[in-house]
Amino acid sequence: MKIKTFDQYFKEDNKKFDSRVNDFIKDKQVVQITTNRTASGGVELTHSLTVLYKEEYK
């Protein structure tokens, strides 16, 4: 099993973030997706997502 962590870029809209994640997982066997939000400085939120997956072997 492997993991891949995605951070949402500053001011990146959700649609684009979702697209990056979906493009990555389209040929993977996803086991679990975990999300995290962290407040830095009390104002700015950072959104990250970790994908636990198995490679699809053809």
Domain ranges, ordered by start, for the chain: 2-55
pLDDT at 11: 81
Quote the CA–CA distance of 22 and 4 in Å, as a whole number.
12
- Measured torsion, CA atoms of residues 15, 20, 24, 30, in degrees rounded to the nearest 10: -40
Reading the chain (58 residues) residue by residue, the pLDDT tens digits are 999 999 987 788 899 999 999 999 999 999 999 999 887 776 677 789 999 999 876 5
pLDDT at 34: 96
Quote the CA–CA distance of 1 and 37 in Å, as a whole number.
24
* Amino acid type, 26: K
pTM of the model: 0.79
pLDDT at 9: 79
pLDDT at 39: 76
